[in-house]
A and B are shown apart, each in its own frame.
Chain A
Amino acid sequence: GAVVSQHPSRVICKSGTSVKIECRSLDFQATTMFWYRQFPKKSLMLMATSNEGSKATYEQGVEKDKFLINHASLTLSTLTVTSAHPEDSSFYICSARDSQPILNTEAFFGQGTRLTVV
C-alpha cells in the first residue's frame, strides 16, 4: 500500500516552545490530509482537515492558533504545536488519501508522533 511518513516519531520539548510535525505522502499525491490526536485510553479524535493550497478546517474545540496546519504541497502537511504546554502531550497521527477520485479509498496513516511537553 501507499506510504505516509510522519516525522519525528518522538519529541520532548519544554513548555512554551513550539514543535513542528511533518506528514509526507511518499508515493502518491494527497490533496487532503487529516490530523488526529489520541488521548490516553481513548480513540483517535480528528483535529483538522488539511487542504493543499487553502486553509485547514478545524474540528469544534480545536484551537487553530495553537495547532497551526500548513499544507503547502501535494505531498507535505505540517502541524505546529505553538507555545506547548504539558496538557498538549499526546500521540498525534496524520493520514492522507490519494488525490485520484476513487470513492471509498482507504486513508493511509503515518507512524504517529509521541509529543511530551515538560
Chain B
Amino acid sequence: AQSVTQLDSHVSVSEGTPVLLRCNYSSSYSPSLFWYVQHPNKGLQLLLKYTSAATLVKGINGFEAEFKKSETSFHLTKPSAHMSDAAEYFCVVSSGGYQKVTFGIGTKLQVIP
C-alpha cells in the first residue's frame, strides 16, 4: 500500500522569496517519488523525480527536492519564486514495476508580485 500527503493545499509567497511545498509519503516498498506541475488548463509536466539514486534531486526551472527516508518526506523547494511558478503542484509516489501511481491532493502555489 502507498499514500501521499501534501500538507498544504494552498501556499502563497512573494516573488523572489523561497518556495517550500511539503510532501510526506508511505510505501511498503522502495518508492519512486515525483513532483509534477500543472498550469491552468494544461496537462502535467514532470519537474523532477527520485528513483533510488542521489537523495537531493534537481529538476527543471530551479526546483529541487530532497528524499529523506527517516522522515518519509520529499519536499519541493526553490530559492526564489517567479511569477511563472504560479500553478498546482502534485507529489506522486510509485512503488515498483507497473503499479499505478498515487497522487497527492495537490498544492496550489500563488506568487504575489
Contacts and interface: CB of A to CB of B under 8 A. Distances in A.
B41 A107 contact: no
Contacts of A31: 98
A110 B103 contact: no
B96 A104 contact: yes
A46 interface: yes
A114 to B, nearest CB: 6
Interface in A43-92: 43-44, 46, 49
Contact of A106 (B34, B90, B96, B100): B34
Interface in B30-53: 30-32, 34, 36, 41-44, 46, 49, 51-52
23 contacts: A6-B43, A32-B98, A34-B101, A42-B105, A43-B90, A43-B103, A43-B105, A49-B100, A95-B101, A101-B97, A103-B96, A103-B97, A104-B31, A104-B52, A104-B96, A105-B32, A106-B46, A106-B49, A106-B51, A107-B94, A109-B43, A111-B42, A112-B43
Interface residues of A, number: 25
B49 A111 contact: no
Given A103-B97, A106-B51, 6 more contacts: A42-B106, A43-B90, A106-B32, A107-B101, A112-B43, A112-B44
- Among B51, B100, B103, find the residue whose CB has the most chain A CB atoms closer than 10 A: B100
A112 B32 contact: no
A24 interface: no
Contacts of A6: 43
Contact of B43 (A42, A46, A93): A93
Interface string A10-53: 00000000000000000000011010000000111010010000
A110 B41 CA distance: 13
B16 to A, nearest CB: 28
Contact of A111 (B34, B43, B100): B43
A36 B44 CA distance: 12
